[in-house]
Structure 1
């Protein structure tokens, strides 16, 4: 039987090798974990233990929220909601220089907050705004960069699947508290993206647009209210205790389905396709959660979290430096990994270190998601970057330079969220969700 060091070495070397040869990350996690487990148990016992770990990992009532929120987001993408949110956002901020880019940013915040998906926001809002921006003479590279940079805001503003996954990986952090904690950082993310856009618009000579008359703005607001009410119903119901996050996800599906039928933008024939897309997305997430449970068990056996914690604490005993180091590690992880596997793998490792330094698990959850959201717009993985470039028909290298000012201001905001806990914890405390 191998010792803990050998087990950890097998785990930490096999997964990168498998990833390097092109094996999908979830399969790499599973194979690497099974190889490490094979050094401990016989084949029969290994198979039984792995199956038990997978079942225990996915046997969570709160995980049922994920497929329903994914389904709600899928319906919304083609349900006519994006156009109404764009019109509402334009009515709100048309007086700011570079109005169409600012509209893109605000609409991404609104759509992402309702759908919970940064990728969906970049595709739906960017796809609708791109032709308008092109017709008005906007630089397509900077417009695409603004769309990409602002899309992850919806991953912080609830409802958010990433917070549900973090709740599971953290061992029980309150989903309701995490949802509420994401509001201020998510809104600040959007505002931060508006700042470079204003400077660029003034430099390029983009003007603001004329305010529409009261009647037009009133109609636009009325059209958007039903879509915006989903946030009020879902999050308000969770905070007030009327229903759980899982029940809220079901209500979200019913609500957006009825709304889309009333808008006459979907038909009964489209529902099987929505369900198929949801199954494809959810199955990947759930499979990853299952195999990460095996890996978590192996890491605990090999005491990998304790080794990493000891290594960090041996470098410095300054909480500020340790948190900066962890932020840097998570930023780098976000560049090469999707948020879901990164949370599942590294939340159990970093959370004990953060709590030992006095950080609240909810606060750390916001930090982790914030870091990984930056990763979604950063090469080489950057799923939102790839979607945004595809929608704008641009190459990755075309938007890297325009993205730099957004990236710098978001990293500065990350530092503020890290060292000003009330930005994350103020609202949950006020709502009585945490002490």
Structure 2
């Protein structure tokens, strides 16, 4: 019966049914095949309990903060600030794309949303400056994977909720890995810029730099308040999301004066739609995880892992390889929701810190945005930038290799992840 359910799961996926419905349909099918009607009677309660968590409140609040910052002109000022600072060096616009994505990561927290927005902004700009469209699109997509790493991060919120791990600790753990990814991509651009003689802008005047710096300071209030508030203990990660919404509204409406009342209905509608999509997926994944626990799959996986090796290093290596392959065929958030209940019992056995593991699994599945055949980021950027899918895949390869190398550095250099959380006892 279990084999039949697994086959139906993959059949539903290949039919193009949304992953949230696949999870729910597979679970209900399993309950019918085992003939346990008590499980069916308890399913509505399990759906509700999957969403009855205070930490999940941060998801709509951070989505709302991102929408408010976009509508209030904060996003465009961050991009302009990065351009003034780095536009004059060779390949400057490419550096701007990376730095702007690091700034925006503290606003959007979603790699797909960031890739879509930056494709509209940066790819045409880079093409006008003489960059190839394939390279511009690949760079924009690759740079967007820092969005779920630098706080605030929706994928960290989901992992923290599912695993019972401190969301504030996860936020702080993402800072150094996010910076490492920025440095890695900038180094790669420097090499490619020297090889292909990338163009450069004229240097901005001191007055222009000062003007843009002063103009962007209110925009930087949101990430600063989130990080400072969590580190100081003034509020939790969820409460910081509410504060971020308030600051984003005040800055956009009263300082930049671009956030008009007429924009609010669309901002709220976008927030509701995005939140409903994610929370429906979480609810369905909760009953799917219940089915996995009922079948004792975590225990079977633990015994299999222990039979191979009792070394944490070997375990993490196997997990990385497995997740990289899985990320190529399954959406990152869906995979995260399915796998966290499976992997959590293994962390105790291998004595692995759940915050460290959370950063590893979240980065790993985010890299899946760059990998065919199901990398959603590839389809989004290919469509928006109007570049052929196969050419985009080829141009993304150097960034994908760099992303995997940094992933392994983070995996086996634990202090790069845990130094800040340990410093503040998070």
TM-score by length of 1: 0.93
* Paired residues of 1:323 and 1:354 also in contact (CA < 8 A): no
Match of residue 226 from structure 1: 218
Q: Which runs of 5+ in 2 are unaligned?
A: none
- The residue aligned with 1:18 is 12
Shift of 1:153: 0.3
Q: Which residue of 1 aligns with 2:415?
A: 422
Cα distance in structure 2, aligned partners of 1:267 and 1:285 = 27
Residues 204-230 of structure 1: CA deviation (Å, up to 9, x unaligned): 212443432221101111111111110
Matched, 1:49 2:39: no
Distance 1:125 1:86 in 2: 9
In structure 1, the residue matched to 2:183 is 191
Please show how residues 218-257 of structure 1 align to structure 2 within 5 Å: 218-257=210-249
Greater Cα shift, 70-79 or 151-160: 70-79
Question: Residues of 1 paired with 2:235 and 2:89: CA distance?
Answer: 39
1:288 match: 281
The alpha-carbon deviation at position 47 of structure 1 amounts to 3.5
- Range 14-23 or range 258-267, more displaced: 258-267
Pairs within 5 Å for 1:44-123: 45-123=38-116
SS of the aligned residue for 1:352 comes to helix
CA distance in 2, matches of 1:370, 1:178: 12
1: CA distance between counterparts of 2:423 and 2:4?
A: 46
Runs of 4+ in 1 over 6 A off after TM superposition: none
Task: Work out the CA distance in 2 between the residues paired with 1:245 and 1:320.
Answer: 31
What does residue range 269-284 of structure 1 map to in structure 2 within 5 Å? 269-284=262-277
User: Which of 274, 299, 310 is the matching residue for 1:306?
Assistant: 299
Structure 2: distance between partners of 1:224 and 1:124: 19
After superposition, the C-alpha distances for 1:22-78 in whole angstroms (9 at most, x for unaligned) are 2211111011111222345554x3343101111111100111110111122223334
Secondary structure, counterpart of 1:155 in structure 2: coil
How many aligned residue pairs are there? 425
When the two chains are superposed, the root-mean-square deviation of aligned CA atoms in Å is 1.7
Instruction: Judge conservation of contact 2:129–2:199 (CA < 8 Å) in 1.
Output: no
C-alpha separation in 2, matches of 1:194 and 1:395 = 25
Cα pair distance change 1:253/1:41, threshold 3 Å: farther
Q: Does 1:373 align with 2:357?
A: no
Change (3 A) 1:75 1:385: farther
**Residue 33 in 1 paired to residue 47 in 2?**
no
> Using a 3 Å threshold, how does the CA distance of structure 1 residues 385 and 81 change in structure 2: closer, same or farther?
farther
Query: Does the C-alpha gap of structure 1 residues 54 and 30 become closer, same or farther in structure 2, counting only changes over 3 Å?
Result: same
